[in-house]
Amino acid sequence: MQQLTGVLRAYPWGSRTLIPQLRGLPAPSDRPEAELWFGAHPAGPSTIDGRPLTEIIAEDPAAALGPRVREQFGDRLPFLLKLLAAAEPLSLQAHPSADQAREGFARENDQGIALNASNRNYKDSSHKPELIVALSEFHAMIGFRPLELTRELFAALSCPELDRYLTILDPFNESDSLRGLFTTWISIPAQARQELIDAVVTAASTNLQRGDWISNVLVNVLELQERYPGDIGVLGALLLNHVRMYPGEGIYLDAGQLHAYVRGLGVEIMANSDNVLRGGLTSKYVDVPELVRVLEFSSLSDLGVYRDEGVYLTPAPEFQLTCREVSQDSPWTIDHDGPAIAMCTAGTVELGGMTLNPGDAVWIPASDPAATAGGAGGQLFLATA
């Protein structure tokens, strides 16, 4: 067991306060601190005493990963653990399925698109299921809202420019309705889109005092318009669930689910992939046809992740995330049959002879024996396969 040095990502949407404050560092920071990576992603592997974790695993994959993980995933760490801190919305995006990722990666290779090219969609051949667990109040747009609620939203806005699209929304054919409306909106000319957004914004501004879920959606729409005026993501927000999570709550995202994190601090775990199809709310490459190709046009209503004795239950084979409050009186014996990464997010935790403060993480190879976390008391997340 050894301490990991994470890789800090300074994306423009990142917060200058959330990660520094968690780590007890001066805030605001000089630049946005969006993500802190703990893992062995080729684009940003964590290090141990200056050595990349990818290199350490490659030297002895049997000891690092163990037979079960190697049999299923080969000689690579299958998950990536992150701290994520958003001060502004992330891009409107979705991730491909495993089959779509393999096909897309091979196709772009055949087209001769360099892996580091700005117009590259598929950076690897893997899918990217992910789980986000809130450490602060966390806002996000997650999945298409049930159609009956979207019709209720349209009625509340009473916007003639919006109402003309109601004919697309067939309550008896939800999937085709969502596909039809979303693809219509992303393909209308820029001028027509701007006029529609202007009308929606005007209508939204008069409906902010309702005090219900519709008010929350409209506040989000106005904030997006201010940050990304005229962007398709402003219209997309009319169709998505607006979610407010509180510390400890988690949401799982599978392939094809349209989403955008809006603001807040959380722990994120995902398959070790970087495949993202973007549709708006970003200055990065946007490929709307490819995004539509991978999207699942079905609504989501049950968004929360069930937690059983600290374990967040998801169908993803690449990762499992567990969170426990530990102390001298309430220790946690970490018994593992594969690789693990443990990260402290509050208080202090004693583990493997090391004192972990918030934002500290350790690498636990498969060959290590069980270890007990305790100490003065703190919160510990454990990522395993």
Catalytic residues, by residue number, are 278
Q: How many Å apart are CA 169 and CA 148, to the nearest integer? A: 9
Q: How many Å apart are CA 311 and CA 137, to the nearest integer? A: 20
List of residues 6+ apart from 257 with CB closer than 8 A: 94, 95, 142, 143, 296, 300
Instruction: Give the annotated binding-site residues.
Output: 93, 95, 130, 259
Angle separating helix axes 147-157 and 213-227, nearest 10 degrees? 70
Give the other-Cβ count within 10 Å of 348's Cβ.
Answer: 16
Q: How many Å apart are CA 287 and CA 113, to the nearest integer? A: 14
CB 334 within 8 A of CB 358: no
Q: Name the amino acid, one letter, at 276.
A: V
What would the two tokens of residue 299 be?
């609504």
Q: How many Å apart are CA 231 and CA 268, to the nearest integer? A: 26
Q: How many Å apart are CA 352 and CA 349, to the nearest integer? A: 10
List of residues 6+ apart from 32 with CB closer than 8 A: 10, 11, 12, 13, 14, 15, 16, 87
Q: Name the amino acid, one letter, at 363.
A: W
List of residues 6+ apart from 337 with CB closer than 8 A: 66, 68, 366
What would the two tokens of residue 195 be?
């006029």
Instruction: Give the annotated binding-site residues for Zn(2+).
Output: 93, 95, 130, 259
Instruction: Give 5's DSSP letter.
Output: B
